């Protein structure tokens, strides 16, 4: 079974803050993933939005190295981030992400594997190298607003009350959920 809709609460949809839409989507996706639902079973745009939000939050708060380390540089996640950035028209962030993706994918595998296997340390040379480029912080694409607007305007979005969202999730999971 596949979730065909992007569920958005009416409260988030009607909010003046587009992050509320992104946050609402992320909470639903995180819950479904925690319930054992596979990423492939969820709406591709909802997953992409979720991963773009994760990427942006990690890099914005702790640097590219933190995102790379915590995500274990997952290629499926990276593909979804690139897809999401393209679809939400965050072209400057997409250019940065693809540039870094190319650099990281061309690192010596032993050096990169060692970085992922070791704990996240401030004096790790690769961590320092990954965080040297500060371009991310000067990109003027408003990624949060672009993400929220993309979800709001998506042809597969469904705006529901919270009670209706709980029912939709229960229907999808095939079991009652705790509210």
Residue 98, domain CATH: 1.20.1420
87 in any annotated domain: yes
Take residue 167 and report the two structure tokens written for it: 């029912």
Alpha helices in the chain (DSSP H): 10-13, 19-34, 44-62, 64-71, 75-87, 91-105, 109-117, 125-130, 143-153, 162-173
Give me the mean pLDDT over the 59-76 stretch: 96
Q: Which residue do the tokens 């672009």 mark?
A: 146
The pLDDT of residue 119: 84
* Predicted confidence (pLDDT) per residue in 102-158, tens digit: 999 999 999 999 999 988 888 999 999 999 999 999 999 999 999 999 999 999 999
> Where in the sequence is the domain holding 38, given as residue range(s)?
6-173
Q: Is residue 179 part of a domain?
A: no
Q: What is the pLDDT of residues 22-45, one digit of tens each?
A: 999 999 999 999 999 999 999 999
Alpha carbon dihedral 112, 116, 119, 122, in 10-degree steps, equals: 50
- State the Cα–Cα distance between residues 124 and 163, nearest whole angstrom: 48
pLDDT of 179 above 90 = no
- 49 in a structural domain: yes
Nearest to 77 by CA among 54, 61, 100, 43: 54
Residue 1 covered by a domain: no
Asked if residue 107 is part of any domain, the answer here is yes
**Would residue 178 count as lying in a domain?**
no
Structure tokens at 165: 């969202």
Evaluate whether 73 touches 104 at the Cβ level (below 8 Å): yes
Domain count, the chain: 1
Q: In this structure, are residues 147 and 53 in contact, taking their beta carbons and an 8 Å threshold?
A: yes
pTM of structure: 0.95
Q: pLDDT band for position 68 (50/70/90)?
A: very high
Question: What contacts 24+ positions apart, CB below 8 Å, involve 98-106?
Answer: 100/64, 100/130, 100/133, 104/68, 104/73, 104/130
């Amino acid at each position: 079974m596949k979730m065909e809709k992007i569920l958005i609460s009416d409260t988030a949809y009607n909010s003046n803050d587009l992050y509320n839409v992104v946050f609402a989507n992320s909470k639903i996706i995180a819950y479904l993933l925690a319930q054992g639902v596979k990423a492939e079973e969820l709406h591709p745009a909802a997953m992409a939005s979720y991963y773009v939000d994760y990427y942006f939050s990690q890099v914005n708060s702790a640097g590219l190295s933190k995102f790379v380390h915590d995500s274990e540089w997952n290629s499926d996640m990276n593909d979804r981030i690139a897809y999401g950035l393209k679809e939400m028209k965050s072209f400057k962030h997409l250019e940065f992400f693809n540039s870094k993706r190319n650099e990281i994918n061309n690192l010596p595998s032993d050096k990169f594997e060692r970085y992922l296997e070791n704990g996240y340390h401030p004096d790790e040379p690769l961590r320092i190298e990954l965080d040297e480029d500060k371009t991310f912080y000067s990109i003027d694409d408003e990624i949060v607003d672009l993400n929220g607007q993309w979800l709001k305007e998506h042809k597969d979005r469904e705006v529901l009350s919270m009670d209706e969202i709980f029912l939709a999730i229960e229907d999808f999971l095939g079991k009652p959920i705790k509210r």
